[in-house]
Amino acid sequence: KPQAVIFDLDGVVTDTAHLHFLAWQSIAAELDITVDEQINEQLKGISRMDSLARILRIGGAEQRYSEQEKNRLAERKNALYVASLQQLSPASVLPGIAALLEELHRQDVRVGLASVSLNAPRIIKALGLVEQFDFCADAGQIKHSKPDPEIFIAACAGLGVSPANCIGIEDAQAGVEAINASGMLSLGIGEQLKHADLLLPTTAQLNWPLLQTFWLN
Ligand code: B16
Ligand code: MG
């Protein structure tokens, strides 16, 4: 069996992507830039400042703002996002995840979190899952967001396991690329993803027997 399973947060453990989307949309609207669902897809797994840079590039506005102004925009986006996190509760955990986390503990498989979100600790707390993660990689220590494997490698290091002995679960293309680059087996959630070693339509299909079969094949 795998030594550890490492989870992405946004889109795998809970659906915060929509809340990121709403916050970016309102900041972008002030700058006369339209952010649609398709653009939002490209922001998944990308750090806050990198997300802002992409939005400005899409609006042809990358030269328009100073570093200080960009920091202010990112701070304001985050304030909107953090306010929206108040609606999170244990009921916001995606289908299949809570049962899988419990079963992994019963099976003595280590559980890690690899989120580039600086808000990950408060989200995990709001979801009531603090006890379920043996190690959460610190996004504040990460230099490169996904598709760079840095956050997944940090999660493995924190758990004391080798990537070759782990499964990573992701819903974003950048995240699947990050898992593959780390040397872990990649399990993708979603219909559109490329390069995942195994693809499931939603988290509802996730369970321990399926992970075991995936690992053995
Ligand atoms: P924050 P993940 C990522 O989380 C999100 O997918 C991405 O949209 C967001 O910009 C990033 O976290 C940074 O989040 O602004 O809260 O630090 O997918 O790595 O769990
Ligand atoms: Mg994600």
From the CA of 146, which ligand is nearest?
1
Mean pLDDT of 30-44: 93
> Model's pTM, two decimal places?
0.94
pLDDT value of residue 45: 87
Mean pLDDT of 168-185: 97
| Both tokens assigned to 48 | 């806050």
Which residues belong to the annotated binding site for Mg(2+)?
A: 8, 10, 170-171
Q: Report d(CA 67, CA 56) in Å as an integer.
A: 13
pLDDT value of residue 118: 96
Which atom of ligand 1 approaches the CA of 77 most closely?
15
- Ligand 1, residues 7, 8, 20, 70: which to mutate, most atoms within 8 A of Cβ? 20
| Both tokens assigned to 32 | 């006369």
| Both tokens assigned to 35 | 């952010």
ipTM: 0.94
pLDDT value of residue 164: 98
pLDDT band at 135; cut points 50, 70, 90: very high
pLDDT value of residue 66: 96
Report the nearest-CA residue for atom 8 of ligand 1.
44
Q: In this prediction, what percent of the chain has a pLDDT beyond 70?
A: 100
Mean pLDDT of 178-201: 97
pLDDT value of residue 97: 98
Whether ligand 1 lies within 6 angstroms of the CB of 40 is answered as no
Q: Is 32 marked active-site?
A: no
Mean pLDDT of 60-85: 96
Whether ligand 1 lies within 6 angstroms of the CB of 16 is answered as no
Q: Is 15 marked active-site?
A: no
Which atom of ligand 1 approaches the CA of 172 most closely?
18
From the CA of 75, which ligand is nearest?
1
pLDDT band at 114; cut points 50, 70, 90: very high
Residue-wise DSSP of the chain: --SEEEE-SBTTTB--HHHHHHHHHHHHHHTT----HHHHHHHTT--HHHHHHHHHHHTT-TTTS-HHHHHHHHHHHHHHHHHHGGG--GGGBPTTHHHHHHHHHHTT-EEEE----TTHHHHHHHTT-GGG-SEE--GGG-SS-TTSTHHHHHHHHHHT--GGGEEEEESSHHHHHHHHHHTSEEEEESSS--S-SEEESSGGG--HHHHHHHHH-
Mean pLDDT of 14-18: 95
Per the CB < 8 A criterion, the answer to whether 184 and 6 are in contact is: yes
Mean pLDDT of 97-113: 98
Q: Measuring CA to CA, which residue among 217, 6, 198, 196 is closest to residue 100?
A: 6
Which atom of ligand 1 approaches the CA of 146 most closely?
19
